[in-house]
Structure 1
Amino acid sequence: MNTFKHLLATALIATSTASFAQTDSTSVSAPTIKSTSYRSYERVRSDLRIYVGLNGLGGTLPAGYEFRPIGSRFIALGWQMRIPVAVGGATKLRLVTGPEVAWNNFMFEGRNMLVKQNNQLTIEQSDVDLHRSKLVTTQLNLPMMLNLSFKSGFSIAAGAYAGLRLDSYTKVKPVGGSSVRTHNSFNLNPVRWGWTAELGYRGHAKLFGRYEPNSPFKAGEGPDASVWTVGLKF
């Protein structure tokens, strides 16, 4: 009888131990590590851009406002930022902006010289042949453009710009003589604005054009003219 009790107790202990081990092994599981996906965003990019082109005045101009087509040049240095707006697909939209310093050179033909007298601008004829006679304006501009670029690399941008006049002067150089530079406002508006557009392929020089519908001169104190510019952006 004692032997039977001993065997029964041993069997109960073994069964309890097996049941506890099974319960413990099923209740403890390896921790689950959840993977979190993070969306990647395109960062703002910036670089130096150079504009080189030709410019001139449009509209009905008084006599003497004829310009040399090659001598009338436009140059600008701009620090541009490309801000992502919608860049999730193959076609990307970015905002392009940043300060620039721009120079308009209006080179007069022949012996024509721009002179300011009694707060009025007039064209006078030099007594000698001139190697150079021009009006130069310097502006601090802020362009704002929307740029649309495609998978092929082709991009097009359009927008507007506004600028403050930093300086303006005339430069007259007689043939065989020394240059004479005269700094003056020349009745120019302190603020100018216009439209701008660019097109080309990523990584290459782009064509650009600008147009100012309003005259750069103050009303009644200079010719009523528009300003156009075409050239290449590097």
Structure 2
Amino acid sequence: MKTLVKTIAALALAITVNFGAAAQDEDHENNDYTHVSSKRHNMFSRKDFGLYLGLNNYESKTLPELDNINSRYVALNWRKNHRLITGNNVDVALGTGFEFAWNNFMLKDNIVLKNQPNGATFIDAKESLSKSKLVVTNFNIPLMLQFGFKESRWKLGLGAYGGARIDSYMKTVGENGKKRTHGAYNLNKFHYGLAAELGRNNFAFFARYEKTPMFQDNNPINGNSISFGIRL
């Protein structure tokens, strides 16, 4: 009887010790897994939507001065992130997708854009205007190489975009009321440019420079558009 009790007690002790050791090993493995998982978490979601809000300007010696504060840039961007590298410190993803962008060029002077025999140019409006702006609507396909720095949580994107103009018009508000005149105005149909973004989480600063001139090469006035602002 005493031998049986001793045997049962020994078995119970052995089971308890083994169970405790197994539990510790499991906790250790879980902690290691969690540690690895946290390191291997990719900063870039598979898909995201971005709203660009900013200002427009252009690099030119022939185009008129703009009302910079009211020359606004707006774009709706749908992006798919292809995860290339998920590292311990840095993630890398290639962003592709499409967007619709509106470039508003608010003119400071009392002028309008008109088609002339030698191309489109700005002429006197012949009436007092409280608003005169050129609006260009584009469909773009951006391509962005993105880097995510895990310690600081900052994201950097460098890339390019190409697209096509889908609409353009002059909008004026003056003594004779509101007018909206659609036309090609000798603007380039297709364009491409360079882009950069820097931010954290769902907020970023962006800048874009269009390498293609706004107007066709034979136009008497021309320049390259610049956009900058924030992406939400």
- Bin the TM-score by the shorter chain: 0.7 to 0.9
1:100 Cα offset (Å): 0.1
Q: Deviations over 1:54-97 (max 9, x none)?
A: 011212115xx111011111100011111100113221000111
Cα separation, 2, equivalents of 1:211 and 1:181 = 27
Aligned to 2:126: 127
1:167 aligns with 167
C-alpha distance in 2, partners of 1:165/1:196?
18
Name the residue aligned to 1:69.
68
Indicate the percent of aligned positions where both proteins have the same amino acid: 35
**In 2: Cα distance, 1:76 partner to 1:124 partner:** 29
What is the CA–CA distance in structure 1 between the aligned matches of 2:111 and 2:222, rounded to whole Å?
19
Residue identity in the other structure for 1:56: N
Report the equivalent of 1:231.
229
For structure 1, the 5+ residue unaligned runs are 1-38
8 A Cα contact 1:119 1:187, kept in partner: no
The normalised TM-score by structure 2 is 0.77
Contact 1:157-1:199 within 8 A present in 2 as well: yes
Aligned counterpart, 1:46: 47
Q: Is the 8 A contact 1:44 1:83 kept in 2?
A: no
1:6 match: none
Total equivalences in the alignment? 193
When residues 222 and 144 of structure 1 are mapped into structure 2, their CA distance, relative to the original with a 3 A threshold, is farther
Task: After superposition, give the CA deviation of every residue in 1:164-215 in whole Å (9 maximum; x if it has no partner).
Answer: 111111111105x521111111111110100000001123x21000001331
Amino acid at match of 2:49: L
Matched position secondary structure for 2:69: coil
RMSD: 2.1
Q: Distance in 1 between matches of 2:110 and 2:224?
A: 23
Match of 2:179 in 1: 180
Give the Å deviation of 1:44: 6.2
Which AA in structure 2 matches 1:90? N
Gaps of 5+ in 2: 1-36
CA distance in 2, matches of 1:52, 1:79: 15
Shift of 1:118: 2.2
Contact residue 110 and residue 129 of structure 1 kept, 8 A: no
Larger radius of gyration between Structure 1 and Structure 2: 1
**Which deviates the most, 113-122 or 84-93?**
113-122
Structure 1: which 4+ aligned runs deviate by more than 6 Å? 39-44
Instruction: Show the counterpart of 1:191.
Output: 190
The 8 Å contact of residues 191 and 211 in structure 2, kept in 1 or not, is answered as: no
Contact 2:118 / 2:220 at 8 angstroms: preserved in 1?
no
8 Å contact from structure 1 (residues 171, 182) kept in 2: yes
- Which residue does 1:17 correspond to in 2? none
Structure 1 contact 99–140 (Cα < 8 Å) conserved: yes
